[in-house]
Structure 1
Amino acid sequence: MKKGDRTREHIIMKSAAIFNQRGYAGTSLNDIIADTGIKKGGIYRHFTSKDEIALEAYNYAASLVSRKFSEAIDQEQSASGRLVAFFRVYEDVVNNPPFIGGCPMQNTAVESDDTHSELRDRASQGLHTVLDLMKSIIRDGINAGEFKEDLDSDALASFAFSLLEGSILLSKVDRDNKHMQMNTANFSIYLQQFCLKIR
């Protein structure tokens, strides 16, 4: 990797953590300069604006969380286990989230809903990427005979992701992982009682 590419990557990595913790409005160019150790001219050599940095930073943070999801899913054999794996990625969201500051999609969506359409669109893309992955897992479970044939993959994916994001929010606000733990356990029970095919 060329030096310029390494510098650009360094700026993105450092900025991603700042944006995910402080938000777009709460992050200034001076914050980025301070955290990266790169002067203003060096920043603008690689990026045209704070907006461009924020968009690249979001992509970076979201890709890291996506990789954590994939790694957790790959360790599971069953479709139900793969759905629960999403929750396990955030099992210690208070002290050890998959990316510093919590869920990039949630943080970005909440802040940018009415203020920054491009960031909101990135969060929306992230939402649909995860929902599509969950729906694919559910359909695989139906085809394999693990889940009931009439199971609505759209509804279950929406429920699962809503429960996951709500658990992240409650745990972070309360500074207590009990919300994630309780909802992970309850989601597992829900899958067992209402989604698995009776054999």
Structure 2
Amino acid sequence: MIYYNDHYICHMEMSKTERTRAHIIASTAAIFNKKGYAGTSITDMTKATQLTSGSIYGNFANKEEVALAAFDYNLANFRRLVQLEVNKCTTTKDKLYMYIQAYHSSANLKFPEGGCPMQNALVDADDTFEALRKKAAEGIMLWKKDLVTVIQQGIKEGVFRPETKAEKTALHIIALSEFGFLMYSVSRSRKQSDEMLEIAMEVAKSIVRD
């Protein structure tokens, strides 16, 4: 069973072709997230999947199609891990905090290898892979929507300050979090990324009513 595009997929319910495609996606997802589209070779893909290049391209039109499916897979798992933690929270305030704490090293969540798939994809796509850039941008917008929804709910409940700008606050939190991921990519130090997440937490706490 794998998790893909926000659904659990049971191998018993899949055709042979679907199982092969799912295997290719799951096997190459970490490679694309770490090495990027340009950096991932067909040799990397055949080694990871234990399939021939003919088998891979018999199931996907080209490397671009595999990369896009791998991104969907990574993003779905990335979001699922965070949402599972958020769903454990019983208050709106704690849910907002968890959207930040989940990325902190103390949470010890098993995120996709290579870090944030959205940031990786945006850097990787640049101006050369528009379809991937769009998918990464959509992922950021989903994250923003999650935060805006919980902030607006908190304002409605009287938990957050009524003058709070939900979208502005959400973007502030995302910017700090993404910069934290970038700092980790540069320094390989979780201390650097954790410090940025702690600043993001201060932003979240600043909208809580006294």
TM-score (ref. length: structure 1) = 0.91
Corresponding residue for residue 198 of structure 2: 185
Partner of 1:197: 209
> Deviation at 1:32?
0.6
Aligned residue among 160, 179, 185 for 2:173: 160
Kept after mapping to 2: 8 A contact 1:87/1:180: no
Cα deviation digits, residues 58-100 of structure 1 (max 9, x gap): 000000001012111112223332222233332239x965110
For the 8 Å contact 1:84–1:187, the answer to whether it is kept is no
Runs of 5+ unmatched residues, structure 1: none
SS class of match (2:114): coil
Which amino acid letter does the alignment assign opposite residue 16 of structure 2?
A: K
Give the % identical residues: 32
1:105 matches 2:105:
no
Q: TM-score, normalised by structure 2?
A: 0.87
User: Quick one: distance in 2 between partners of 1:13 and 1:136?
Assistant: 31
Separation in structure 1 between the aligned mates of residue 47 and residue 181 of structure 2, nearest angstrom: 29
In 2: Cα distance, 1:99 partner to 1:191 partner: 25
Aligned-partner Cα distance in 1 for 2:199–2:132 = 32
2:152 to 124, 131, 139: 139
* Residues 1:149 and 2:162 aligned together: yes
1:5 alignment partner in structure 2: 18
Q: Residue 179 of structure 2 contacts residue 196 of structure 2 at CA under 8 Å; is this kept in 1?
A: no
Query: Does the CA-based 8 Å contact 2:97-2:204 persist in structure 1?
Result: no
Residue 174 (structure 1) shift: 1.4
Question: Size of the alignment, in residue pairs?
Answer: 196
Matches within 5 A, 1:7-86: 7-86=20-99
How many Å apart are 1:44 and its aligned residue?
1.6
CA contact (8 A) 1:135 1:154 kept: yes
For the 8 Å contact 2:75–2:118, the answer to whether it is kept is yes
Letter in structure 1 aligned against 2:208: L
Correspondence for 2:7: none
CA positional deviation for 1:21: 0.5
